[in-house]
Amino acid sequence: MNASPRPSPTTEPGTGRSALSRRGFATAVIGATAVTGLPAATAQAATARAGSATPAAPGAFDPRDWTSVRDQFALSRDYLQFSAYVLASHPRQVREAIDRTRDQLDADPIAVGAGFVDEDRSLEVRTSLAGYLGCHADHVALTDSTTMSLALLYGGLKLRPGQEILTSEHDFYATHQALRLRNQRDGTPVRKIRLYGDPARATTDEIVSRIVRALTPHTRVLALTWVNSDNGVKLPARAVADALREVNARRARADHVLLCLDGVHGFAAENVTMEGLGCDFFATSTHKWLHGPRGTGLLWGKPEHWPLVRPVIPNFSREGYEGWVGGRDPVAAPAILGTPGGYHSFEHRWAVPEAVRFHEMIGRARVTARIKSQAALLKDGLRRLPGVRVLTPDDPSMSAGVVCCTVEGWTAARAEHELRAAHRVIATETPYAEPHLRFGPTVVTGPEQTAKVVRAVAALR
Ligand SMILES: Cc1ncc(COP(=O)(O)O)c(C=O)c1O
């Protein structure tokens, strides 16, 4: 995979001899296989797929067994980890991939492929993420976080004077601040609307109709968050995209409304592809629900829309370099040019495929079902408690793994502290103007622990 040229002809610069030595690429290829242990992992995945016919060796990771899944994490056993998605703890195979690469980088960074252009290893990472998202590697830019992806997107989108960005009052700091910076830079109008009254009762019809009513001929961008991290509402992205398609059918192409999502709390919690989701741009990190390497993220865009994003940070690619040497604009897939350059914490970036493999060994559908069934238990249990108001919709189509509530007489910060200190439950206060108490069941938690969490909240008196 790594030795091949770019997977799409659009990425071939076709500009003659590369000014860069090919030795670096060949070395990277050898390094990639040795470092990430691809054949071994592939064999493991095949074992997982084979099901009960091939029982796991004693002590080995058995992706069918939730206890074994939990055992892959070094997360403290002293607590019930209901916020493990906030910043990932790495499962064993990710930790080991990181350790191997770190050792190699410490020994000889050039030999392992950390040259000016790390494109072979980057291609492996983009290919792995593209496989997960159901898209092409050329449409995936690598970043360090959702926040960086949003900044590159909203900072770089080419808009005509007067074209506006519509967002919601419910969105997170990362979106709001990226839009504020954009507005300060060039005056791009930014407008905020409410998408629902009571989040717990939010419906697809309500959200879609409020959005459609708010659109004006000047609205070019709809900047939203797929799963809200303050109340757990999951936006009906597909329905919004379908409504926009009707609106866009009546508009000139240059005026189409683009649906841009901060997707971080749906990515790897929900089991969808980019096509199924229906958005135009999707920003996420891998260091939440995928339990990927900390400091890794991506920006995906539909191929027809990527050219609208002007790169902000110089890219370290062969094409970028050749363009510079040749004194001209680089020719490459926009997502490649949109991947910020500079040397990175490569031991983390290059371990992303291992996180994808871990997730897929367990099974995407199983992960989602595990998260959703616990979220349902949690919401049901919390709702029965006097003085507790659950903000997250019951409807599984309107919610994912984030579960938020308020507890009468308790600030979220005090509740977070008490749950940790007295009940050994890790929940978090949401980082919003009016914070709520937030839980997130993941693959490291289970139904029995969820029941304990409900009892712990009941004991907040
Ligand atoms: C909705 C939302 N977007 C983005 C972020 C930041 O994520 P990242 O670290 O990937 O930038 C958070 C919280 O950490 C969040 O809740």
DSSP sequence for 278-343: --SEEEEESSSTT---TT-EEEEE-TTTGGGB---S---SHHHHHHHHHTS---S-HHHHTS--S-
Residue 138 in contact with residue 11, Cβ under 8 Å?
Answer: yes
Question: Of 303, 336, 358, which residue sits at a domain end?
Answer: 358
Average model confidence (pLDDT) across the chain: 89
Interatomic CA distance for residues 111 and 35, integer angstroms: 12
Tens digit of pLDDT for each residue in 267-289?
Answer: 999 999 999 999 999 999 999 99
pLDDT for 34 beyond 50: no
Best CA proximity match to 450, nearest among 385, 377, 401, 391? 377
| Rg of the chain on CA atoms, in Å | 23
Q: How confident is the model at residue 112 (pLDDT cuts 50, 70, 90)?
A: confident
The CA distance from 176 to 168, in Å, is 9
What is the length of the chain? 461
Could you tell me the distance, in angstroms and rounded to a whole number, from the CA of residue 146 to the centre of ligand 1? 6
Judgement on whether residues 272 and 183 belong to the same structural domain of the protein = yes
Return the residue whose CA atom lies nearest to atom 13 of ligand 1: 86
Judged against a pLDDT cut of 80, whether residue 194 lies above it is answered with: yes
| CATH code where residue 442 lies | 3.90.1150.10
Nearest-angstrom CA–CA distance, 64 and 362: 6
Question: Could you tell me the distance, in angstroms and rounded to a whole number, from the CA of residue 457 to the centre of ligand 1?
Answer: 25
- Of 303, 326, 358, the last residue of a domain is 358
Rounded to the nearest angstrom, the distance between the alpha carbon of 436 and the centre of ligand 1 is 16
pLDDT of residue 116: 67
Task: Considering only the C-alpha atoms of the chain, give the largest distance between any 2 of them, rounded to a whole number of Å.
Answer: 73
Mark whether 368 and 319 lie in a shared domain.
Answer: no
Q: Are residues 214 and 144 in the same domain?
A: yes
Question: Within this chain, do residues 333 and 249 fall inside the same structural domain, yes or no?
Answer: yes
Q: Which atom of ligand 1 is nearest to the CA of 227?
A: 1
Which residues on neighbouring strands pair with residue 390, listed in sequence order?
405
Within 6 A (CB) of ligand 1 lie 145-147, 172, 174, 225, 229, 262, 264-265, 285, 297
CATH (domain of 271): 3.40.640.10
Kindly state the tokens that stand for 262: 């901060």
Rounded distance between C-alpha atoms, residue 126 and residue 117, angstroms:
15
Q: List CB contacts of 92: < 8 A, sequence separation 6 or more.
A: 61, 72, 73, 74
If one compares 72 and 24, the residue with the highest pLDDT of the two is 72
With a cut of 50, say whether residue 14 has pLDDT above it.
Answer: no
Tell me which DSSP letter residue 51 carries.
G
